[in-house]
Each structure stands twice: as structure tokens, then as C-alpha cells.
Amino acid sequence: MICPLPIQTLEYHAVISSTNDRMKELFKHPVVPPLPCLVIAKQQTAGRGRENKAWWSGEGAVLMSVGFGLSPATVSRNELPLLSVTAAQAVMTVLKRYLPENKIELHLPNDVYVEEKKICGILLESPSPSFGILGIGLNVNNRLRDIPPEFQAEFEKRPFTSMIEMLGRELPLPRLCEEILTELAVPLHCITY
């Protein structure tokens, strides 16, 4: 659980380099926005995973980062490593609603796979002793045919899939965001983008 309170600050970007990077910028402001804070993007130009590996995060994916304070009342620094697994379990719970017949599994420490193909990446960062960032990228309506050439080799080594590839139909991104956040005990209503 990140925080029992509703999201206090919400930012939406049509295009952004990275939702996690934007959250880091917000944490550097003299007055940090009320937490928990949610940054959502329609598209990222510099999506990344662990160890700064570049990752394609095209339009049609759930791309979001939740910024939160670190304290004994919310999440302590000692609990941070468990948060990646908690987030993955939240995503898996949501995926099972839509893909009940499919094999959905966690690839430790931060990826969710469906039928041996990556569908979600989670990036947990703590840019300071006081703040944490949980980034989630879930492939929903983005398609294999849209992968840019520079990422083709990566996806041949590590196949990926999306919900539209599995279901054959588009799904509403705001609803999926809300379902994931609800599973993380972060209530949020009326996300639109």
C-alpha cells in the first residue's frame, strides 16, 4: 500500500520524456506538490527500465508514476524493495480480470509477463531519503506493428505483448489506471485522457 489517502496532485501530459523523470523534477521544487502525486502520460519519448535501459512506451499504454513520501506512516525505506512486487501483484490482479484464461506471472523483480511475453514493467526509484516514485508501464492498446525500428532487436530478444494483441479490442486507459491504483489502495476517480 502506498498511502490510504486519495491522490492529491494529478498531472497529465500528452507527450513527456518520462513520468518518473517528471516526478523527480516535482520533488526538486521548493514546494513539493501535495502527495501522493500522480503523473500520467499518453506517450513517453524516453521511457526506461532498470539500469536506465531504454524502453519503448508508445501511445496506447498506461504510463504513470506515483510519487509518495517515505515515512513510517506510509512506506518506510526498508519496505521499498517490496513495493515493486506489490505493484506487480496489483497489475496481475487487474490483468486476470481481462485475461482469465492466460498464464500471467511475475518475472522478478519488476516485470509482468503474459504467455511468456512482457506486458508490464515497473520502475521503483527513491531520488531522496524523503520521497519514492513508483512507475508503471502497462501495454494496453499499443501494437507490435508500431514498434520503432530502433527497438526491434530488443523485442526480438525479449518478446512483448499488449492487451489489445491478446483480446483483439481496445480498452479504456483511464479505467485501467484507476483499477491498478485501487489495487494499490490509492483511490482515484474520474481520470480522463
Q: What is the mean pLDDT of residues 37-41?
A: 96
Residue 77 in domain: yes
pTM > 0.85: yes or no:
yes
Confirm whether 57 is domain-assigned.
yes
The answer to the question of residue 192 being in a domain is: no
**Does any domain span residue 188?**
no
Number of domains in the chain: 1
Residue 4 lies in a domain: no
Q: What is the pLDDT of residue 144?
A: 76
- Angle (CA) 73-74-76 rounded to 5° is 90
Specify if 191 maps to a domain: no
Q: Looking at residue 193, what is its pLDDT?
A: 42
| Structural domain contains residue 124 | yes
Domain contains 152: yes
Domain span at 96: 9-183
Radius of gyration of the chain from its Cα atoms, rounded to whole angstroms: 16
Torsional sign, CA 45, 188, 36, 79: negative
The confidence score (pLDDT) of residue 120 equals 95
| Contact call for residues 61 and 47 (beta carbons, < 8 A) | no
pLDDT digits (tens, 9 = 90+) for 78-111: 777 788 888 999 999 999 999 999 999 999 888 9
In this structure, what CATH number is given to the domain that contains residue 167? 3.30.930.10
Q: Cα–Cα distances in Å, from 134 out to 3, 56, 103, 123?
A: 12, 18, 25, 6
